[in-house]
């Protein structure tokens, strides 16, 4: 499974309805499960980002599609990072010429 860290910010629509945010997160988890992606955790944060989500998906395309669908709902904008475990990074480094 590929791991992704998504940094999220509320849109104007999202912050106007911030009280619904925990319910939206629950619906996102259900949406992720249907897509074959696991929402490992979601955190509400202070600072430059309003939320941080950690997701694992079978491949880049599936996870990207899910995150695009989340953004299309209009409550958040995402900035997503592909994360690699130490084991994955060791395999990547081993392939270096």
Which band of pLDDT confidence, cut at 50, 70 and 90, is reported for residue 15? very high
- Residues, the chain: 97
**CATH code at 69?**
3.30.70.920
Please name the residues in contact with 97: beta carbons below 8 A apart, sequence gap of 6 or more: none
Q: For the whole prediction, is pTM greater than 0.75?
A: yes
Condensed to tens digits (0 to 9), the pLDDT of residues 27-85 reads: 999 999 999 999 999 999 999 999 999 999 999 999 999 999 999 999 999 999 999 99
Within 13 Å, how many C-alpha atoms sit on residue 66's CB side? 27
What's the domain range around 20?
A: 2-94
Q: Report the domain count for the chain.
A: 1
Element (H, E) at 19: none
Cβ atoms of 9 and 18 closer than 8 Å: no
What is the number of other CB atoms lying within 10 angstroms of the CB of residue 18? Answer: 13
């Amino acid at each position: 499974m590929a791991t992704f860290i998504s940094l999220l910010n509320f849109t104007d629509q999202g912050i106007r309805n911030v009280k619904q945010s925990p319910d939206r997160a629950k619906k996102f988890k259900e949406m992720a499960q249907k897509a074959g992606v696991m929402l490992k955790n979601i955190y509400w944060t202070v600072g430059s980002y309003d939320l941080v989500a950690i997701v694992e998906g079978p491949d880049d395309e599936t996870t990207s599609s899910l995150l695009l669908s989340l953004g299309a709902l209009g409550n958040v904008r995402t900035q997503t990072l592909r994360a690699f475990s130490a084991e994955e990074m060791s395999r990547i480094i081993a392939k270096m010429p």
